[in-house]
Structure 1
Amino acid sequence: MVNSTVVDHEIIIVGAGFAGIGTAIALRKAGFDDFLMVDDADGAGGTWHWNTYPGIGVDIPSFSYQYSFEQQRTWSRVYAPGRELKAYAEHCVNKYGLRPRIRFSTSIVRADFDDALHLWRLRTGDGEELTARYVIGATGVLTRPKLPEIAGVERFTGVTMHTSRWDHDQDLRGKRVGVIGTGASAVQVIPEIAPEVAELVVFQRTPIWCLPRPDTALPPVVHRLLGLPGGKLVTRWLSQAFVELTFPLAAHYYGVLPMSKLGERTGLAHLRDQVDDPEVRAKLTPDYALGCKRPSFSNDYLKTFNRSNVRLDTEPIAEITATGVRTAAGHHRVDVLIMATGFKVMESGNMPTFDLHGSGGVRLEDWWDEHRLQAYEGVSVPGFPNFFTIIGPYGYNGSSYFALIEMQTRHILRLLRKARGSHATRIEVTEEANERFFEEMLNRRGTQVFWQDSCTRANSYYFDKNGDVPLRAMTTPEGFWRAGHFDFADYRFTALGTRSGSTVEAAARTTVR
């Protein structure tokens, strides 16, 4: 029996940031040409399209924050500014011929799996239906701004903006400015705006570990050296080793390796070097272990608090008034209120960014509410066939997102090749495989930094509402090996006309509309 099903595309990728771009390039290289990328932005780049605040840049060396197959040697600095990442995204889209395959300014609001036809029906914000055999979620985690739940925020009559939606029409010169939050975005924006504003008040809930940043401009001679045989390879390996040491190894093997303790001593010395006032220095000193939340690297952030026009308020915000912010320390009048309050990461509405219903109509968010956040190797969830995610629970280990993207696309391509070779139309991870992986991740907690008592004071977005930290507890090399060697028996491959779970007996043909 041969079944023919009409679908708009074999694969739809939701997201045109680096995860979506990397997935699309991998698909093309592997011979999967019938795909469409959909993104609600009007340009490529994801995080680097939306986030344009002053001072934005990468927080790991640029040599690691790029695809291994498309290494650029013209970065202006070791830590590239955001505009260069945006340009790199556009370069990749153009070089690999992806632009005709992207629909910008299109939001996916819902996706439903059709059990009878083994396909996904996706609905856009305009009410249009798109169908695909497979859906790959590549929406990232740093695109949906998280607004603070503070009484009176709607009463403020001045200018309010979130760092991820920066209003470049606003002139901050001579203004009284308040910044809520001291995470990664704040660490970058605060030193940039402090010299031009009249007054700057920083409202801090939890101090961030801030380490010195080994950053420097890259002169033309370095660019020429990178062009020599092996130049980019050596630089990338050195950069990758630095990244691996500063988070994956330090965080996941805290109880075994001493890197975190060394990092804490470095951070405290940096703080003493940078901040003159002992009282301010004490307020900026974290009381939790390095790694409980993602640390930052900056040579300018801490010393900004030496400026006479900058104040640090660590009291809880009682309310936002029409003219400013009130804490126990008093009422701060501000003209502009900047929300550096981060993003929805391990939260509903972000994983995924659309309402997704799998086999039998089960909603993914409801499944996760019942079973806790989990996904086999960070890619697949049982009951949600033909759906794969790049940045799923227990997928990211804290290294470069580009390492994650290449790791997960390797996993997904193995599945797609297997399905194509066996004429399968439905790919679903087994419950047994998913449970085994989830238990393995939980069993690896013993050496992770997140379970130190002090982490309860970190207010880290790594912790989800169940108190779990759905980061992949392993090194990057182990993750890559597993992506290429997982057992196909961990999945069920079935074809239209056969029962789910049975051997593929009937060929299925996809007709492109």
Structure 2
Amino acid sequence: MDAQKVALGAAAAVSVGALASAQNAWKAAALRESALNRSLGLKAEDIVIIGCGISGICMGIKLKEAGIPFVIIEKESDIGGTWFLNRYYGAACDVPAHLYSFSFMRKMDWSVPYAPQKEIHAYLTSVVEKYDLRKHIRFNTALDHAEWAEDEKRWHMALSDGSVLEPRFMINCIGALHYANIPNVPGVESFEGDAFHTAEWRDDYDFRGKRVALIGSAASAVQVAPELARQASKLTILQRTPNWISPRTMGVLPREKYSDFQKWLFTNVPGAELLHRGSIYMLLEAYFMLGVFDKSGPAQAVAQKIIRDSMHHELRGRPDLIEKVVPKFNVGCKRICRTDEFLPTLRRDNVELIAAGLGRVEPDGVVDANGDKHEADVIVYATGFKVGSLGLARITGANGFSVTGSDIAENAVEAYLGTSINKMPNSFMLLGPNTGLGHNSIIAMIESQANYTTRMISEAIDNGIERVEVKPASVSKYYDWVWKKFEKRVWTKDCGSWYLNKDGKVFSLWPESTLTYFRMLDRAPSLLHDYDVAYKSGAQPARL
């Protein structure tokens, strides 16, 4: 009897397995057929992606998997966006490396816990090569301006090379942080020495023996300063506002680098790297969920004490530096800088930190906001970027509505789920308003947005829809929730952060956990629910 049960059970298991295999094969065939159908009647120029940084790469891959042809325009000579432009000394990601790769192409052999620029760019290049994206990219091609043509249901995109593209859908993957921001102060052009921004780095420049003025003390400054100090005869750092500076140590990360054994383990033992990646993600997410980024509460107080004690320890015996460098505002109000080298650099004899921003530039040096002059042979601007999710180009949508990237920031332009702006038909964006992060990896947000955008465009193509525009009511309801969530967050405090616009609104960050965002996009209803649509002549209204 037992043998009979075993035999019946085995037969049932085989049948279930065969059925599952058949279902999977059917689904795969259906997906291939759907992808083939989408490609029929479409040409690459019908869908244009602007930018080939991380978000543009991800968007291209998702469209390719869905069988949707596309072209990518990229203003630089290579892929990578931020990680192509920022090549200054010490350039590295402040998010742990094993979270800084796509879930569908994880990198198992990161060399160090926080990956340097070259390693990240090499990884992105390998992704582009694996998915054969380079043939879709037009390099050295920037968007000058774009305008929606209502009668044609297409965008007219004027490009820097004089050509014009007329896509059905335009997907903006420019990102918010890549146009260098040079301070608007008197005398910038009068300086007789060399001057450049960290995002416009001169690889062959020799700093040895020079007097260097470093303008800024935040994310890029804390990375570039240590090597500048080792080479320069004098390094003067102008700090407009202080920053919370946390060591890079984290319980789930190695102290300095990944060992050969760890790399072997991640590469050869199924699930090992995924477990490591997951532990990093959950630890960072736990900081948020426990309230570290709330305006007040025990978690905020504990975070302040831990980081303050660490900074005091690094600057022990230097009360002058402690007074200048340790912030008095809440942790997380500005982006936390993770570095082990910056604070020790400030103790060097050839380094002077000035607790004042840049007032003006003179032919032989800089004058700080207090009126004191500091002679310099070279100026390095570590002053961030012109913030905006649409770049510098002007984009004109329906009914004359027109925006640039700076408008997005200054006017807190609202985008449904951070992807869709009302009066911008057939247009989506990645890393749009209120989708940046202050606590975790942005790549996970990008993947979620790329999946959502692909789903919306696929629904339009599959159902003969020629025009989609997010409903004002969808945007309004969504932002009622967003602004409510921000009320308790630390980012709404005024601490000189670029997170806030001129009216004190947080236009850049997501106010909740990343898990909340993933669920919202994954469970977002069909196109017809949140968008007004128009069908091609002869197309039947869809039931999505």
Tell me if TM exceeds 0.5: yes
- The aligned residue for residue 432 of structure 2 is 392
Tell me what 2:397 maps to. Answer: 358
The match for 2:55 among 19, 25, 30 is 19
Q: CA deviation at 1:426?
A: 1.2
Residue 224 of structure 1 is matched in structure 2 by: 264
2:501 paired with 1:460: no
CA 121–417 in structure 1, closer or farther in 2 if over 3 Å, else same: same
CA distance in 2, matches of 1:96, 1:122: 26
Residue 371 of structure 1, CA deviation: 6.6
> How far apart, in 2, do the equivalents of 1:88 and 1:159 lie?
33
* Residue deviations 1:149-202 (CA, integer Å, cap 9, x gap): 121111110000100111122100111001000110001000121111100000
CA distance in 2, matches of 1:367, 1:55: 32
**C-alpha distance in structure 2 between counterparts of 1:85 and 1:474, whole Å:** 27
2:80 counterpart SS class: coil
Residue 160 of structure 2 is aligned with which of 110, 122, 125?
125
Paired letter, 2:242: P
CA apart distance, 1:287? 1.6
Structure 1 residue 5: Cα displacement: 9.3
What is the TM-score with the length of structure 2 in the denominator? 0.86
Q: Deviations over 1:437-483 (max 9, x none)?
A: 111111112221123xxx32x21010012321022212111111111
Q: Is 2:340 the partner of 1:299?
A: yes
Q: Does 1:134 align with 2:169?
A: yes
Is the counterpart of residue 330 in structure 1 residue 372 in structure 2? yes
CA RMSD of aligned residues (A): 2.1
- The answer to whether the Cα contact below 8 Å between 1:382 and 1:431 also exists between their aligned partners in 2 is yes
**For residue 149 of structure 1, what is the amino acid of its counterpart?**
N
Q: Does 1:341 align with 2:377?
A: no
Query: 2:264 and 2:131 mapped to 1: Cα distance?
Result: 25
Match of 1:440 in 2: 481
Identify which of 50, 67, 75 aligns with 1:40.
Answer: 75
Choose which of 461, 482, 490 in structure 2 pairs with 1:420: 461
**Aligned-pair CA distance for 1:247:** 5.4
TM (normalized to structure 1)? 0.91
**Which residues in structure 2 correspond to 1:233-312 (within 5 Å)?**
233-246=274-287, 250=291, 253-255=294-296, 258-275=298-315, 276-312=317-353
Preserved contact between residue 61 and residue 79 of structure 1 (Cα < 8 Å): yes
Q: CA deviation at 1:53?
A: 0.0
Select the residue among 452, 474, 477 that pairs with 2:512: 474
Report SS of the residue matched to 2:311: helix
State the distance in 1 between where 2:444 and 2:453 align.
14
CA gap of 1:185–1:397, structure 2 versus 1, over 3 A, is closer
Cα distance in structure 1, aligned partners of 2:357 and 2:233: 24
Flag structure 1 segments of 5+ consecutive residues without an equivalent: 499-503, 508-513
Following the alignment from structure 2 to structure 1, what is the Cα–Cα distance between the partners of residues 234 and 132? 48
CA 1:223 to 1:282, structure 2 compared with 1: closer, same or farther past 3 Å? same
Q: Judge which range, 73-82 or 417-426, deviates more.
A: 417-426
Aligned partner of residue 270 in structure 1, secondary structure: helix
Paired residue type of 1:338: V
1:431 aligns with 472
Q: Distance in 2 between matches of 1:58 and 1:48?
A: 9
Unaligned 5+ residue runs, structure 2?
1-39, 250-254
Contact 1:496 1:506 in 2 (8 A): no
How many positions carry a matched residue from both structures?
A: 490
Higher percent of residues as helix: 2
Q: 1:246 & 1:270 partners in 2: Cα distance?
A: 18
* More divergent stretch after superposition (212-221 vs 365-374): 365-374
| Aligned 8 A contact 1:428 1:493 in 2 | yes
- Structure 1 pair 434–145 and aligned structure 2 pair: CA distance change class (3 A): same
Q: Specify whether residues 353 and 444 from structure 1 end up closer, same or farther in structure 2 by C-alpha distance, changes over 3 A only.
A: same
C-alpha contact (below 8 Å) 2:215/2:238 kept by paired residues? yes
Match of 1:150 among 160, 169, 185: 185
Query: Secondary structure, in 3 states, of the residue corresponding to 2:230?
Result: coil
Q: Give 1 or 2 for the bigger CA radius of gyration.
A: 2
Structure-1 residue corresponding to 2:120: 85
- The alignment-based identity, stated in percent, is 31
Q: Please say if residues 73 and 139 of structure 2, whose CA atoms lie closer than 8 Å, have aligned partners that are also in contact.
A: yes
Measure how far apart 1:396 and its partner are: 2.5
What SS class does the counterpart of residue 303 from structure 1 fall into?
helix
Instruction: Indicate if the aligned counterparts of 1:358 and 1:383 stay in contact, CA closer than 8 A.
Output: yes
SS state of the match for residue 273, structure 1?
Answer: helix
- Residue 331 of structure 1 deviates from its aligned partner by 1.9
8 Å CA contact retained: 1:146, 1:343: yes
Alignment partners' CA distance in 1, 2:504 and 2:467: 33
- Greater shift in the superposed pair: 205-214 or 244-253: 244-253
Pick closer, same or farther for the CA change 1:505–1:252 going to 2, 3 Å.
Answer: farther
Within-5 A mapping of 1:308-319: 308-319=349-360
Q: Deviations over 1:61-116 (max 9, x none)?
A: 01111111111011110101110011011111100000000011001111111111
Between the aligned partners of 1:91 and 1:243, the Cα distance in structure 2 is 27
Aligned to 1:510: none
Q: 1:8 touches 1:131 (CA, 8 Å); kept in 2? A: no
> Secondary structure of 2:465's match?
coil
